[in-house]
Amino acid sequence: MKRTLSLIASLTLCAGLYTPVAFSETVAIPLGKQGDYWNIQRPSTGATKAQVAAQFGEPIARTGPVGEPAIYTWEYEQFKVYFEGDHVIHSVVLPQ
């Protein structure tokens, strides 16, 4: 019995020594750098291609259709717009 407890204690200790240790880092972004990113005007979900073109002009690049349902991408200077068929499904601000 004593030997069994000793073996279990040893195995538990060894298992504890071999578990990976997790590290994390906190990234602090100054408040002055956060605001401009969100102030970029971009198309809202549900807008049509015609509405986007009327409001923002012609895109720099167009891609698609890709997949089923057809997904189209329009790229502007500061953001990219994703369409499913003729309607906006998402818009993303590009990294500066």
Residue 73 class from Cβ within 10 Å (0-12 exposed, 13-18 middle, 19+ buried)? middle
Rounded CA separation 93/77 (Å) = 9
Give the three-state DSSP class for 75.
strand
Q: Give me the phi and psi of 36, to 5 degrees please.
A: -60, -35
Higher pLDDT, 16 or 77: 77
Would you tell me which CATH number, out of the four given (1.20.120, 1.10.10, 3.30.1450, 2.40.50), belongs to the domain 2-93?
3.30.1450
- Interval 26-39: pLDDT, tens: 887 665 555 566 67
Tell me the pLDDT tens digit for each residue of 74-93: 999 999 999 999 999 999 98
Instruction: Name every residue whose Cβ is closer than 8 Å to that of residue 73 and which is 6 or more positions away in sequence.
Output: 61, 62, 63, 64, 66, 80, 81, 82, 83
Q: Where are the domains of the chain?
A: 2-93
Answer whether 0.85 is exceeded by the pTM: no
